[in-house]
Amino acid sequence: MKVKVCGMREPGNIQEIAAMQPDYFGFIFFQGSKRYAAEHIDQHFISGLPGSIKKVGVFVNEGVEEIKRLTHTYGFDLVQLHGRETPLQCKELKDSGLQVVKAFSVDESFDFHNILPYESSCNFFLFDTRGKNYGGNGVTFDWKLLQNYTSDIPYFLSGGLNLENIRGINNLKLKPFAIDVNSGFELEPGLKDVQAIKELLELRNQNQL
């Protein structure tokens, strides 16, 4: 299982965790987020990170052309769309050569049929917990709801993941392609707990996830 560490912002913190080789880093380019990365890192810093770590630009209701521009500037490998982006917008980005992750906010009322129009325009889906913020709410949703997911598109699991609950992923019938961790592995917004990330990656390396 792949591991994505999202909400990365502090250069020293990023370098410490990069040395542990997670699979993905997520950089949030949404000014409404407490983990907004643009004011803390530049394209030269990101390009200096190990090539084995895929860099994900996270956007919320951003225009397609601006996403393309920022992706080119920062050298992102994937774009993650966390707002109300349409299948057509996703397709335009995918057709331009980008890998697209479309996020959906899940609660008891979520209808998994709503993702079907996105299947041809996305490489991955991401399921997060519906809350007041666009991600980073620190709350899990009922993973039993994933029994209603029937698509062949691989998915990232997000929403309130921490060292206490993460082993429960092994009980899922349809396991995620990757887990996306953020607030449950932080000392404060944008600053990750290095020791907790180390323990997480050790579990991954020991095939316990």
Using DSSP's 3-state secondary structure scheme, residue 118 falls into helix
Q: What is the pLDDT of residue 59?
A: 97
- Which residues participate in catalysis according to the annotation? 6, 128
Residue 82 has pLDDT above 90, yes or no: yes
Q: Which of 157, 108, 155 is nearest to 135 (CA)?
A: 157
Residue 50 has pLDDT above 80, yes or no: yes
Alpha helices for the chain (secondary structure H): 11-18, 43-47, 64-74, 87-95, 194-205
Lowest mean pLDDT among 29-38, 60-69, 90-99, 129-138: 129-138
Q: Indicate the pTM of the whole model.
A: 0.94
Lowest mean pLDDT among 11-20, 120-129, 170-179: 170-179
Instruction: Say which CATH class 2-205 falls into.
Output: alpha beta
Residue 136 has pLDDT above 60, yes or no: no
pLDDT for 137-172, tens place per residue?
568 999 999 999 999 999 999 999 999 999 999 889
Q: Which of 114, 127, 74, 79 is nearest to 100 (CA)?
A: 79
Report whether 9 contacts 37 (CB < 8 A). yes
Summarize the confidence of residues 175-202 as an average pLDDT. 96
Q: What is the pLDDT of residue 87?
A: 98
Q: What is the pLDDT of residue 186?
A: 96
Token duo for residue 177 = 């392609």
